[in-house]
Amino acid sequence: MRVFLAFVLYLVACMATSALLLPWLQPLFHATFGATPDRALYRFGMLLMFLGLPLLARALDLRDRQTLGLATGPEGWRRPLGLGLLWGLGMLGAVLGLLMASGIRYLAPGTLSAGSLFSAALAGLGSGLAVGLIEEFFFRGALQGGMRRSQGLWPTALAIGLFYAVVHFIRPTPLPPETPLTVTSALGMLGGGLAQLTQFGEYADSFATLVIAGIFLSLTRERTGAIWFAIGAHAGWVMVIRIAKRLTNTDHQSPWIGLIGDYDNITGWLASGVLLAGVLLYARRASATSST
């Protein structure tokens, strides 16, 4: 598990570096992107992680494209990326459809139009591809490639799935009102994010969804030998979430409200069940293909 521990420590170091530099960079982030300190801290940390990842990979002797998940077969990278996008849209599209059919989410009045749908889909595709590239290169690319040298598929997929989920629930907490942004307060935002791990019961449903999602993405990486399918699936999920948040609202009085979590009002026990069905379907199709 040396590779796994190295990646965990690397992520912590990138977030700590982001906190140390944030007091000087936040004016630029706010003026350029309108980012609040907590969002800037997280996103800059992820950017540092992405930019420095080749150095970490080299230090761990993860050098070839196959190990990093960047190899392309005869079909290139566009086809698996597109197939992954369709799978992602289908999986989370099914979740959204069930949420709306049950009344948990409903169409926001006056929001549905061709323009609003296209705008939300385009924004989701752009951000989904960007986030997918960064996260998949880190988790399913270099990390999975390194771990598979000494670990089996399922221990690797489970460990990465748990790590992937944890990262989403330790995001820096907002800077308290009237608190100046200093190195100390920036580190405090990081500490607030880590403290959320003690409140696991409040987000266990959405945590389960993300673990299953991570396992699914690891299976696609194993099956295809690269991360292109995973990037596409990731982008498809973000597209559906962006469309749902732009065009629908949550009915918190619904008798079925327990099927979604407070994390984003989309993931939860229902999404976990649908994604688990997707994992089983993909694994079955992959097994059938490999046996022919």
The residue behind tokens 């989403």 is 168
Rounded CA gap, 160 and 167, in Å?
11
pLDDT tens-digit map of 232-288: 999 999 999 999 999 999 999 999 999 999 999 999 999 999 999 999 999 887 665
The residue behind tokens 């140390």 is 20
Q: Where are the alpha helices (DSSP H) in the chain?
A: 2-33, 37-59, 65-68, 78-101, 114-136, 144-147, 153-168, 183-195, 204-224, 228-247, 269-290
Residue 164 has pLDDT above 50, yes or no: yes
Total domains, the chain: 1
Rounded CA gap, 138 and 68, in Å?
9
pLDDT at 287: 66
Enclosing H/E stretch for 249: strand 248-250
For residue 104, what is the DSSP state? S
Rounded CA gap, 25 and 23, in Å?
6
Residue 198 has pLDDT above 60, yes or no: yes
Average pLDDT (38-61) is: 95
Strand partners for 250: 105
pLDDT at 112: 80
Q: How confident is the model at residue 292 (pLDDT cuts 50, 70, 90)?
A: very low
Which tokens in the block code for residue 80? 């698996």
Q: How confident is the model at residue 184 (pLDDT cuts 50, 70, 90)?
A: very high
Phi, psi at 108, each rounded to 5°? -70, 135
pLDDT at 25: 97
Of the candidates 179, 214, 207, the residue with the CA atom closest to the CA atom of residue 267: 207
pLDDT at 145: 96
Q: How many CB atoms lie within 10 A of CB 173?
A: 17
Of the candidates 135, 155, 288, the residue with the CA atom closest to the CA atom of residue 223: 288
CB 138 within 8 A of CB 48: no
Average pLDDT (152-181) is: 95
When the pLDDT of each residue in the chain is averaged and rounded to a whole number, the result is 94
Using alpha carbons only, give the angle 149, 151, 152 rounded to the nearest 5 degrees.
Answer: 115
pLDDT at 95: 97
pLDDT at 1: 79
Query: Which sign, positive or negative, has the C-alpha torsion 86, 88, 94, 99?
Result: negative
205 or 111: whose pLDDT is higher? Answer: 205
pLDDT at 290: 54
Q: For the purposes of burial, counting CB atoms within 10 Å of the CB of 172, is it exposed (0-12), middle (13-18) or buried (19 or more)?
A: buried
Phi, psi at 76, each rounded to 5°? 75, -160
pLDDT at 248: 95
Residue 155 has pLDDT above 90, yes or no: yes
Q: How confident is the model at residue 289 (pLDDT cuts 50, 70, 90)?
A: low
127 or 110: whose pLDDT is higher? Answer: 127
Which tokens in the block code for residue 134? 């960064």
9-18, 52-61, 67-76: range with lowest mean pLDDT: 67-76
* Domain enclosing residue 146, as ranges: 2-290
Rounded to a whole number, what is the distance in angstroms from the first to the last CA of the chain? 34
